[in-house]
Structure 1
Amino acid sequence: MSKKYSKFLPTTEDFNLEDFPFYWITQVHAQYVLNVDHVLKKYGVDNSRRRLLIALESQPNASVSDLSDKIVSKMSTTTKIVYRLKEEGFVNTYSCLDDARITRVILTESGKQMTRKINDLMAVILEQSFEGLTTLQIEKMMESLKHIFKNLSH
């Protein structure tokens, strides 16, 4: 390990947990999920369902496998979420015409309505989250996070 990153790792005597970048990533994510779950509770939707609905909105007719990749979830977990959403009337599934082994997922009208409600609530949380930051700061942060994600995906 090079010394370049040593100050960010819990290997030194004077290490402070708040200097560990992934501490902050997990703290922000955990607080975000708590806030999201709190506001979505009134609609009977949790963060897992929200993530899948939003992914499906951005990629209509996605396969379960595509959705699994998009939400960074195990295929079995994604499948469970899809079938829960199907039971709730938010999505439908069908076999791909080209390859019947592939299950595709589409939003129902009820799913589209729920997604609009979710997006309205997310706008409030987004504004709260980024208050005091400029658009440029947010773009730079996203660029850095994408870079870290790419590094971890290898």
Structure 2
Amino acid sequence: MTKKYSKFLPSTDNFDLENFPYYWVSQVHAQYVQNVDHALKKYGLDNSRRRILLALKSRPHASVSDLSEMVVSKMSTTTKIVYRLKDEGLVDTYSCEDDARITRVVLTDKGDQMTQKINDLTNVVLEQSFDGLTPLQIEKMMESLQHIFKNLSR
């Protein structure tokens, strides 16, 4: 590792946790999830189910494995969440016509209505989190995070 990054590495003698970028990534994510979970309680939802519902909103008729990739979750965990959502009447499942081994998932009308409620609640959390930042700062942050993701995905 080059010296230019040493300040950010936990292996240095004078390491300060607050200089470790992933400390802040995890802190921000954990606080976001906590705030979203708190807001979703009134609908009896949690962040895991929210993520699946919103993934389905953006990609209708996704397979369970597609959803698993989209929300970065184990296939078994995603399957449990999907069937919980199905029991709650928020999604339906069906076998793919081309390959019966593939289970596809679709939002029900109730699920579609719930995604709108979720978006209304999470918009409040997002506005709170971006207070004091300009749209350009947010775009630059997104670019940086996408770049880091690509680096880690190699």
User: Within 5 A, what are the aligned runs for 1:59-98?
Assistant: 59-98=59-98
In structure 2, what is the equivalent of residue 115 of structure 1?
Answer: 115
Please state how far the C-alpha of 1:5 moved relative to its aligned partner.
Answer: 1.3
Helix, strand or coil at the partner of 1:72: coil
Equivalent residue number for residue 36 of structure 2:
36
CA deviation after TM superposition for structure 1 residue 11, in Å? 1.6
Match of 2:55 in 1: 55
Partner Cα distance (2:101, 2:18) in 1: 47
1:144 aligns with 2:140: no
Residues 1:11 and 2:11 are matched in the alignment:
yes
Report % sequence identity.
Answer: 77
Please list every run of 5 or more consecutive structure 1 residues that lacks an aligned counterpart in the other structure.
none
**1:91-111 deviations in whole A, cap 9, x for unaligned?**
000000111111000000010
Following TM superposition, where does structure 1 have runs of at least 4 consecutive aligned residues deviating by more than 4 angstroms? none
State the one-letter code of the partner of 1:125.
V
User: Secondary structure of the residue that 1:14 maps to in structure 2?
Assistant: coil
Of residues 64-73 and 3-12 in structure 1, the stretch that sits farther from structure 2 once superposed is 3-12
Partners of 2:22 and 2:146 lie apart in 1 by 14
Q: Structure 2 length normalisation: TM-score? A: 0.98
Runs of at least 5 residues in structure 2 that lack an aligned partner in the other structure: none
Name the SS for the 1:6 alignment partner.
Answer: helix
User: Cα deviations across residues 8-39 of structure 1 (Å, max 9, x unaligned)?
Assistant: 01122211100000000000000001100100
Say whether 1:21 aligns with 2:17. Answer: no
Deviation at 1:4, TM superposition (A): 2.3
Could you tell me which amino acid in structure 2 is paired with residue 107 of structure 1?
L
2:76 partner amino acid? S
- Taking the TM superposition and a 5 Å limit, the aligned residue runs for 1:121-140 are 121-140=121-140
Alignment-derived partner of residue 99 in structure 2? 99
Alignment partners' CA distance in 1, 2:68 and 2:47: 15
Q: Distance in 2 between matches of 1:75 and 1:149?
A: 21
Report the secondary structure of 2:80's partner residue. helix
TM-score by length of 1: 0.98
